[in-house]
Homo-oligomer: A and B are copies of this chain.
Amino acid sequence: MGVKRQLLLVSNSTLYEGGYLEHCQEQIQTFFGQRVKKVLFVPYALHDRDAYAQKARTKFESLGYGLDSIHEVSDPVEAVRRSEAIFIGGGNTFRLLKALYDNGLITEIRKRVFQDGIPYMGSSAGTNVATVSINTTNDMPIVYPPSLEALGLVPFNINPHYLDPDVNSKHMGETREQRIIQYHEEPDTPPVLALREGSMLLVEDDQSTLVGSTGARLFLRGKTPIEYEPGSDLSFLLSTA
């Protein structure tokens, strides 16, 4: 018996020239399938929660699902307890993680995923918080969460919106790859799966598959990064705890 969990971790909400969640809508429908009628949406990563919930609701209704936004209920913990499925949207990862702590949701979401096996979908910041920690977010630290430790639904970290080095750039700030390697200069740091825009990770209990169109780059501490094509079996990453 392995670990029970159903996760769809998407790199980015919107792909160039596409609509909101358009590039992953088939995966969303396969993931939630017929078992889910209504999704609990967490809009904490953006400032305008009403507008964000409306945008997500419109999209999910078009796919055949109802959507409740957690910011509209009086008791967020109770809303998680009653939810059939959770979707945490993108925005600023620090703001999102702080709000998850402030609302006492970390333990409760973990319970629902690991004990009850409800499906969890994350996009961008919502994918970052599903991992061990938000140490490999790209976002500005606009607020200070009580910890960088996150939901720990998988035993590694993800870098969403991964960007390959631009060989023509004259900008001298660190490339994304350099930043991730700096993270691995620190002791006891877990693997980092860098998901390009268009990529996503599907996790079903102890099985994990790379989905989407653009592939991913895996960084292991002290090793040369490895490329994975869409369709790759990444189940080995689930036993790196």
What CA separation (Å) do A170 and B16 show in the bound complex? 6
Contact of A144 (CB < 8 Å), options: B92, B142, B147, B163:
B147
- Chain A residue total in the interface (Cβ 8 A): 39
A84 at the interface (CB under 8 A from B): no
Q: Which residue of B lies closest to A138 (CB)?
A: B173
Known: A47-B182, A47-B185, A182-B92. A14 touches B172 (CB 8 A): yes
What CA separation (Å) do A180 and B142 show in the bound complex? 8
Tell me if B172 and A15 are in contact (CB < 8 A).
yes
Contact of A148 (CB < 8 Å), options: B139, B141, B172:
B141
Tell me if A161 and B173 are in contact (CB < 8 A).
yes
Contact of A142 (CB < 8 Å), options: B138, B170, B182:
B182
A171 at the interface (CB under 8 A from B): yes
Residue among A13, A15, A172 facing the most chain B CB atoms (10 A cut-off): A172
A residues within 8 Å of B by Cβ?
Answer: 12-17, 47, 91-92, 94-95, 134-144, 147-148, 161, 163, 170-174, 179-180, 182-183, 185-186, 189, 197
Across chains A and B, which 3 residue pairs bring their CB atoms closest together, nearest first?
A: A16-B170, A47-B185, A161-B173
